[in-house]
Amino acid sequence: MKVTVFVSPKTTVLDPQGAAVEQAIKSLGHHSIEGVRVGKTVTFQMEGSDTPEIRDEIDRLCDGLLSNPVIEDYRYEITSE
């Protein structure tokens, strides 16, 4: 199965990259757009199926390595690719 992890800056934390991108978007004339946040996605193949144990394992991975809980949130999707 394929796991896609989406990591994004916490809403309470300043996101300089998001702010810069938002400024660029506005300078292109798209004034109705706001709240830009720039995160990252991490994808990997994993053996097994979508079980609570597997989800535990992914959570541990996300909480320690793939995201920093001080500044980032994460969510993930599991697909059968």
Site string for another protein, 5-24 (x = CB under 8 A): ----x--xxxxxx-xx--xx
Sign, Cα dihedral of 65, 69, 71, 74: positive
Q: Which is nearer to another protein, 34 or 80 (CB)?
A: 34
| Residue 17 half-sphere exposure toward CB, CA atoms < 13 A | 6
Using the minimum distance from each CB to another protein, give the nearer residue, 30 or 50.
30
Token pair for residue 75?
Answer: 């969510």
Where along the sequence are the contacts to another protein (CB under 8 A)?
A: 9, 12-17, 19-20, 23-24, 27, 64-66, 68, 70-71
